[in-house]
Amino acid sequence: MARVVVDANVLIAARLSRDQDHDQGREMANAFDRGELPTAIVLSDVLEEVLNYLQARSTRPVAVETLDALIESRGFELVYTPKTDFDPAVRCSERTTGYRSPMRSSLPRWIDGGSSTSTRSTMASTVSRASPVS
């Protein structure tokens, strides 16, 4: 079966009605869920970005509902991105583009590369550690 990697912008647009691409994002998310599109792969780094953004720009319950919906969906697959894959990819990108991100030293460190922790508990922990929206 075909699979595609989904970026954060699609999931964020699907969840936030005020997003300029909400209708398209929602349509895509529903099509993945109904099996009309290939299975959507959501990498753990992308999931963390989505959940943190939703909690900051909306509410914690919206972030948690999004996580639950992705876990329960037949159209999305959550895939853990081990640190051992992440660093070589960043280095390859830096060599190819010649650009070194000033944020390089502050990249996410919750990824330990050898964890057997489930995606749900890791992501739920990420959501609960994030600071509340004021």
- Give the separation between CA 25 and CA 35, rounded to whole angstroms: 15
What Cα–Cα distance (Å) separates residue 87 from each residue in 53, 72, 116?
23, 30, 19
Which residues have a Cβ under 8 Å from the Cβ of 84 and sit 6 or more positions away?
113
Could you tell me the residue ranges of all domains in the chain? 3-80+115-129
pLDDT digits (tens, 9 = 90+) for 48-83: 999 999 999 999 999 999 999 999 999 999 999 887
- Give the separation between CA 15 and CA 66, rounded to whole angstroms: 8
User: Which H or E element spans position 43?
Assistant: strand 39-43
pLDDT digits (tens, 9 = 90+) for 9-23: 999 999 999 999 999
pTM of the model: 0.66
pLDDT digits (tens, 9 = 90+) for 23-45: 999 999 999 999 999 999 999 99
Q: Decide if 60 contacts 95 (C-beta within 8 A).
A: no
pLDDT digits (tens, 9 = 90+) for 87-99: 787 788 788 887 7
Tell me the one-letter amino acid at 96. Answer: T
CATH architecture entry for 3-80+115-129:
3-Layer(aba) Sandwich (3.40)
